[in-house]
Amino acid sequence: MSYNVEKLHAKQVDFFLKSNPFSIKERIQLLQKLKQEINNQEDAIVEALKEDFQKPAFESMVTEIVIVYKELDLFIKNLKSWSKPEKVSSSLLNFPSSDRIYHRPYGNVLIIAPWNYPFQLAINPLIAAIATGNTVTLKPSELTPKTAALLEKIIKNTFTEAQAVVIQGDKEVAQQLLDLKWNFIFFTGSVPVGKIVHQAAAKNLTPVTLELGGKNPCIVESTAKIQLTAKRIVWGKFLNAGQTCIAPDYVLVHKRVKPALIKALKEEIIASYGKNTIDSPDYARIINSSHFERLKDLIDKEKVAFGGQTDAETNFIAPTLIDDPKLSDKVMEEEIFGPILPIISYDQESELSEIIRSYPASLAFFVFTENQAFAEKIMTQFPFGGGVINDVVIHFANEKLPFGGVGNSGIGAYHGKHSFHCFTHQQSVVNHKTWIDVPFRYAPYGNKLSWIKKFKNWL
């Protein structure tokens, strides 16, 4: 399908200039309409995700659809109160005045969504952008064509093209969109592409939110409850076949408990997916042959402690444990983004810092321990986007927590009310009253300097 990108963009620009802002009532009605449309297409969404990369129906409901419903309900319930001007105390220097912060939409928003959670990571930012009064152009990933087509159908059934539109295509289409002038860009994806997006936005000084990734460490300290630790790591790492930006990328385990952890990880993988994972209905596939070959190339068969099986015909890679790889090994060079889990032993706490700080700040950070002092120390020692003690991934599910990276793992944060702030500009307005005009600020200044020095701490 071909799109007149410039014409669609111009239509949204014109609409925003003439209609800004949508009334709160209109925005809520649009969100309710979107929720109904998603409900109507629920089975089709699950089927599209299955066709794109064999995503299990349960995972599709929990990680894609339910999270979207939660976000919609939150905005429908709270948008009116969130949108009210925020009154703040005024400065004595401005007496008499009333001061307020208004939450204004940016205008025309571009959202570029990824392929790993192709429904949820496209719709959730769109919800916030529409709710805050922006127009939206959504570019879904071409690597999940069934989901992308369904996204286009859902958006077309809910909005006018001037309000929100889906434009499908490859990286050339994405570049066409980036060449246009936007008021805000929201991107979820890899670090290299994130840099391209940021560079394009910089040409017009366009603000951005970049949700990227990184090598997320997972520390298992000697006091950790090993069986429970293994169960939770297996769930978070092999969910979506490891294609999750906040999944544990590698494990740093104390050498005293390493044998027990590897044994427990093997047991939990079998308990979750059976002895032949390829036959499990609960295990997704790698998104395409290119990513399959990249991941397959990371597996050093001599260091495989478990798994390692692959099937090129179905893009299948079994849950795989890699025992004590070197930092110079391919699997440790960059984010894995697949079902391969390197396990590295450590003895002294100082080794943790040496390894973790050899990589840029991660999007996520996990530690398993029964030593609370150790957990608190570790959590304050390293920069990362979001972390969990004694579990993995679950911080994503709490809409009250801002979700985003730091440094190389991203710019900005969203989810829940944080999404409301993400897609709005905080506009400060001082209403200076006219019933009196204090002359102190005006020239000539005379001996006013001495008064300023005397009362500066009161101002």
Q: Which residues are catalytic?
A: 211, 245
Cα first-last separation, the chain? 62
20's tokens:
């800004």
Whose CA is closest to 197, among 140, 127, 209? 209
Q: Please name the residues in contact with 315: beta carbons below 8 A apart, sequence gap of 6 or more.
A: 53, 285, 286, 287, 288, 289, 291, 292
For residue 451, what are the CA distances in angstroms to 95, 229, 334, 442, 459? 17, 65, 61, 14, 11
| CA 170 and chain centroid, separation | 21
Q: Under a CB-based contact definition with an 8 Å cutoff, are residues 12 and 137 in contact?
A: yes
Find how far residue 111's CA is from the centre of its chain: 12
Strands (DSSP E) contained in 134-272 are 135-139, 164-166, 184-188, 208-211, 217-220, 250-254
Phi, psi of 94 (to 5 degrees): -100, 10
61 to 47, 113, 120: CA distances (angstroms): 11, 19, 10
Instruction: Please check whether residue 137 is in contact with residue 9, taking contact to mean a CB–CB distance below 8 angstroms.
Output: yes
CA 399, distance to chain mean position in Å, is 12
Those residues whose C-beta lies under 8 Å from the C-beta of residue 23, and which sit 6 or more positions away, are none
d(C-alpha 117, C-alpha 405), whole Å: 17
Query: Exposure string (b/e) for 17-44, b if CB count within 10 Å is 16 or more?
Result: eeeebbebeebbebbeebbebbeebeeb
